[in-house]
Structure 1
Amino acid sequence: MQIRISWPTGQLTATLEETPTSAALAGALPIVSTARTWGEEVYFETPVSPALESDAREVVEPGTVAFWTEGDALALPYGPTPVSRGGECRLASACNVVGRIDGDPRLLATVRTGDRIRVDRLQDPA
C-alpha cells in the first residue's frame, strides 16, 4: 500500500509493508495531525494504538516509516536524532517498522514543528 504524506511546503509518498501496525494505520486514513521535529526526525500523533511488534527496532535507516507505540505516533527519521550515535537514525525507543519513504527522505527537512500534516492512502492502480 502507498500513502502520501503532505505538509504546507511539500509532500512525499511511502510504501507500507503488510504488518499489523500498517493495517491499523490504513484503517484510520486519512489522518490529519500536527507535526513535531526531533533532530532529523518528523513525528506526529495518530488515532491508532498498536502493540509493539516482535521485530521493533530502535536504529533504522533514513527514510524508514516507523510507528512509535509509546506516543501513538508515526516517526519519520531522515538523519540523526538527539540520541543518535554518529550518523545513525536512532529513535526514542523501539518502534514498529511499517515501511519506507519513496525517494529522498531529506524532503522532510522542510517540515516545521506545528505544521499541519496529512496522511492519505494513494489509490491502487487499476
Structure 2
Amino acid sequence: MAALSITVTDEEVEITLDADWTDDAPETRAALAEALPVAGEAARWGDELYVSVPVATAAENARTVVDVGTVAYWPAGEKLCLFWGPTPASEGDEPRAAAPVNVVARVDDASALAAVEGGARVRVERA
C-alpha cells in the first residue's frame, strides 16, 4: 500500500508503513487500499480513535496489545483504529484493543491525537 494521509478534523497526521510490519496484514492493507479514500465520524475509547471503513477481512496476525502510534483494522467491528495510549482495556500504559486487531501502519507522531474528541471527522487517503 502507498503512504497514507490521515486527517482528523483539521489536523493531518503522517502515516508510514514500517518495514518491520509490512508482512503483518497484507490482505487487510490491500483491502483498505482498495477502499480508499474513506471518511467518517470517529468515536474515542480512551486513547484510541476508531472509524467505520468499508472493509471486511478476517483476523490476520491479530493482536490486542499494540505500540503507541499503531494504525490497525478491527475485524470484529469493521473499524480502522488509531492508538496513542492506554484504553479502558489496558494494563498500565500500553495501548490495548478491546479485541484483536490487524496492524496495518504506524503514525510517526501520534501526540496530536491526544486533544481529539469523539465525533471528530476522520479521512484516510493515499498521501
TM-score by length of 1: 0.90
Residue identity matched to 1:88: E
Runs ≥4 residues deviating over 3 A:
none
1:110 positional shift: 2.6
Aligned to 1:70: 76
Residue correspondence of structure 1 range 95-110 to structure 2 within 5 A: 95-102=101-108, 104-110=109-115
Counterpart amino acid of 1:47? P
Q: Distance in 1 between matches of 2:41 and 2:33?
A: 18
Q: Distance in 1 between matches of 2:13 and 2:121?
A: 14
Residue 114 of structure 1 aligns to a residue in which SS?
coil
> Helix, strand or coil for the counterpart of 1:26?
helix
Match of 1:10 in 2: 11
Identical residues among aligned pairs (%) = 46
Superposition pairs of residues 1-126 of structure 1, within 5 angstroms: 1-16=2-17, 17=22, 19-53=26-60, 55-102=61-108, 104-122=109-127
Quote how far apart the aligned CAs of 1:111 are: 2.1
8 A Cα contact 1:9 1:110, kept in partner:
no
Q: Which amino acid aligns with 2:83?
A: P
* Larger mean Cα displacement after TM superposition, 64-73 or 13-22: 13-22
Q: Would you say the 8 A contact 1:3–1:15 is kept in 2? A: yes
Equivalent position amino acid for 1:28 in 2: A
Instruction: Give, in angstroms, the shift of residue 8 of structure 1.
Output: 2.0
Q: Displacement, 1:33?
A: 0.9
3-state secondary structure, aligned to 1:85: coil
**Is the strand fraction higher in 1 or 2?**
1
Following TM superposition, by how much is the alpha carbon of 1:99 offset from its aligned partner in structure 2, in angstroms?
1.2
Q: Secondary structure in 1 aligned to 2:31?
A: helix
1-structure distance, mates of 2:70, 2:8: 18
Structure 1 gap segments, 5+ residues each: none
